[in-house]
Amino acid sequence: MGCTQVSRMLPVIDLAPAPPARAAYDVLAPAPELAEFATDDIALPRFHVWTLGCQMNHSDSEEMAGALAAAGCAEAADLESADLIVINSCAIREAAEQKVIGRMGHLANLRRANPALRVVLTGCSVRTDNAATLKRRYPEVDLFLRPDEEPELTARLGLAGATAPGLMVGAQREVGAQREVGAQREVGAQREVCAIRRQSATSAWLPIIYGCDKTCTYCIVPFSRGPERSRPFDEVVDEARSLAARGYREVTLLGQNVNSYGHDLPAEARFGEVQTGRHLGRQLDLDGRPDMAALLRTIDGLRTDDGVPAISRLRFVTSHPWDLSQRLIAAMADCPSVCEHLHLPVQSGDDTVLRRMGRQYSVAAYLELVERLRAAVPGISLTTDVIVGFCGETEAQFEQTLELLRQVRFETVFAAAFSVRPGTPAAKLEDDVPKAEKKRRLQALLDLQEGIGLEANRGWVGRSTEVLVDQERPPSTHADGYGGPRLAGRNRSNKLVHFDGPVELIGSLVSVRVEHAGPYALVGSLDG
Ligand code: SF4
């Protein structure tokens, strides 16, 4: 498949875990080594990027912020102090779009106070098929960019002129608390240097595949992000190596369907051992092409001088059951850096609903995957996405979903009530589950899952677990009178763990003994 567009996004959207702690700054000046390129500080807008939705959007926003910083713009802490607002939107549900529409009045007020204000809207809300309606829905937006047009942001704003170092290969870029060499990303047929302003100095997103080829009838992503396009294997490995060299402890490989990585890349002799076909969904010729298993094994194989994995933790989101091959499961089991956690969206526990959703697997096939994962990676933490109240879902079919949750015992379920997305195949089906009933089903599912999640978390009490510390909790949340810093981070199973300790620990891997469990997080003390 040819690479013709750039687009990125995941379906997890506003239910995704919170991003890592943002670097502590109000306004960031451009990197000093870019000073010689600066044109006129006063003329350059201060920008603020407002990101909604999934990890892929957050990763895209890091690139847009990096490009603006590389063009010499400073970053503003909030919408109110910005001259340029970039809204990276999410369209997976109507509620996500309403969040932006609901801000139009506020943006109009800001423009009255600052007539120089410019507003850019990008992300999944901007598509070719809805171009005619955008200005009516978002009257305060000056420039609409489809996701594949995001690399044009600075040029379209007139900020990428001859003085813009964003066009220089290997230019040093400001990246939050630290600097990094601009990563090279394959974009269509051309190579592009991306400036990336990362939000964390500890954990990094690494996009490896863009778009989606799947057939889910409720989803707008294939329309907004185009078909699947994988980044070249060596380029991804080089970027992982570079992240390791700069001290990133955790790397998350990103894609709408991350585990279908490589099917569109050319076959090569060095991948001759890849002779695996899909068992679910549309059949593909995967022989001789790089796949996720090869990628995980190669990145896991990067070593420090001491012989330990150069990247301590490797994760990947989001997986589709179609491409969870036995090769991939074996790589997860064999690679010490790959975390014992998988987010595997199931969406429904009923075959008829799954068929109507276009998911192209059965509940039995999903359960078989779960069994194989648990056999290969004992103790693996599984999380999932569920949609309740999809078109035609009966009470009995909903009950099947609850039954699936009881059976699999996911650690976390990101659940949402179905909302029709104009332009998707499901928009032609009857949205016949009343709103109140969707709400009731959603609450019933959340109530059930709360008990399951709590029970799973209680299993951690009394155990020590490795936590990658990435945030300091605000003092105002200390209800118990504790006066010192309260830190938080995730363990390898992706559990949020709170504990007390010095802020210097942020960015390190520490051992925490778990003392209490809630349905959504663990609380403990530093070991030793
Ligand atoms: Fe949407 Fe399905 Fe593709 Fe996920 S796999 S992005 S839900 S079409």
How does pLDDT run across 476-508, given as a tens digit for each residue?
A: 555 555 555 689 999 999 999 999 999 999 999
Q: Is the pLDDT of residue 181 over 70?
A: no
> Which tens digit of pLDDT belongs to each residue from 59-84?
999 999 999 998 889 999 999 999 99
> 229 in helix, strand or coil?
strand
Residue 72 backbone zone (phi > 0: left; psi -120 to 50: alpha; other: beta): left
In sequence order, which residues have a C-beta less than 8 Å from that of residue 215 and are 6 or more positions away?
281, 282, 358, 359, 360
pLDDT tens for 342-351 read: 999 999 999 9
Span from the CA of 248 to the centroid of ligand 1 (angstroms): 29
The terminus-to-terminus CA distance of the chain in angstroms comes to: 54
- DSSP annotation of 33: G
Q: Rounded to the nearest whole angstrom, what is the distance from the C-alpha of residue 256 to the centroid of ligand 1?
A: 7
Q: What is the pLDDT of residue 471?
A: 87
pTM of this structure: 0.84
The pLDDT of residue 195:
74
- Choice among 182-186, 303-307, 369-373, 425-429 with the minimum mean pLDDT: 182-186
**Parallel, antiparallel or unpaired: strands 464-473 and 509-517:** antiparallel
Predicted local distance difference test score (pLDDT) of residue 281: 67
Question: What H or E segment, with its residue span, contains residue 57?
Answer: helix 55-70
Residues, the chain: 528
528: Cβ contacts below 8 Å, ≥ 6 apart: 511
Provide the pLDDT for residue 163. 43
Q: Token digits for 15?
A: 């239910």
The tokens of 463 are what? 């155990």
Whether 91 lines ligand 1, by a CB cut-off of 6 Å, is: no
Q: Which of 308, 186, 289, 172 is nearest to 242 (CA)?
A: 172
pLDDT per position as a tens digit, 95-148: 899 999 999 999 999 999 999 999 999 999 999 888 899 999 999 999 999 998
SS3 of residue 45 by DSSP: coil
Mutate-to-test residue for ligand 1 from 220, 221, 259, highest number of ligand atoms within 8 A of CB: 221
Helices 395-408 + 435-458 axis angle, to 10: 10
Residue 215 alpha carbon to ligand 1 centre in Å: 7
Compute the distance between CA of residue 457 and CA of residue 381 in angstroms, rounded to an integer: 11
d(CA 183, CA 245): 13
Mean pLDDT of all residues in the chain? Answer: 85
The answer to whether the Cα torsion of 170, 174, 179, 180 is positive or negative is negative
- In this prediction, residue 339 carries a pLDDT of 98
3-state secondary structure of 424: coil
Q: Which residue has the higher pLDDT, 177 or 348?
A: 348
User: Ligand 1 mean position to 213 CA, how many Å?
Assistant: 8
CA of 319 to the centre of ligand 1 (A): 10
Q: For residue 426, what are its two tokens?
A: 């499901």
Pocket test for ligand 1, best of 219, 354, 360 (most atoms within 8 A of CB): 219
DSSP state of 267: P
In this predicted model, what pLDDT tens digit does every residue of 354-405 receive, in sequence order? Answer: 999 999 999 999 999 999 999 999 999 999 999 999 999 999 999 999 999 9
Local structure of 398: helix, strand or coil: helix
Q: How far is the CA of 210 from the centre of ligand 1 (A)?
A: 12
87 lines ligand 1 (CB under 6 A): no
Q: Is the CB of 221 under 6 A from ligand 1?
A: yes
Tell me how far the alpha carbon of residue 11 lies from the centroid of ligand 1, in angstroms.
6
Instruction: Give φ, ψ of 162 to 5 degrees.
Output: -65, -20
For ligand 1, atom 8, which residue shows the shortest CA distance?
216
Nearest residue by C-alpha to atom 2 in ligand 1: 216
The rounded distance, in Å, linking the Cα atoms of 214 and 281 is: 8
* Per-position DSSP letters for 301-368, written without gaps between them: T-B-TTSSBSSSEEEEE---GGG--HHHHHHHHH-TTB-SEEE---B-S-HHHHHHHT----HHHHHH
Query: What are 142-176's pLDDT values in tens digits?
Result: 999 999 889 899 999 988 653 444 333 222 333 23
Quick one: which atom of ligand 1 is closest to the CA of 359? Answer: 2
Tell which atom from ligand 1 comes closest to the C-alpha of 10. 6
Is residue 30 lining ligand 1, measured as CB closer than 6 Å?
A: no
pLDDT at 286 (0 to 100): 78
Centroid of ligand 1 to alpha carbon of 219 (angstroms): 6
Does ligand 1 lie within 6 Å of residue 124's CB atom?
no
pLDDT in tens, 225-248: 889 999 999 999 999 999 999 999
For residue 276, the model assigns a pLDDT of: 72
The structure tokens listed for 503 are 């802020």
Query: What's the CA-to-centroid distance between 147 and ligand 1, angstroms?
Result: 16
Q: CA 265 → CA 161, 243, 274, 414, distances in Å?
A: 34, 23, 13, 32
Whether the CB of 219 sits within 6 Å of ligand 1: yes
Cis-peptide, bond into residue 477, ω within 30° of zero = no
pLDDT in tens, 11-62: 222 222 233 333 322 234 444 544 444 444 447 899 999 999 998 999 999 9
Q: How would residue 274 be classed by pLDDT, with cut points 50, 70 and 90?
A: confident
Q: Is the CB of 320 under 6 A from ligand 1?
A: yes
Residue 459: predicted pLDDT: 96
> What pLDDT score was predicted for residue 9?
29
What does the alpha-carbon distance between residue 330 and residue 203 come to, in Å, rounded to a whole number? 25
Who wins on pLDDT, 64 or 281?
64
* Smallest CA separation from ligand 1 atom 4, residue: 11
What mean pLDDT do residues 446-464 have? 97
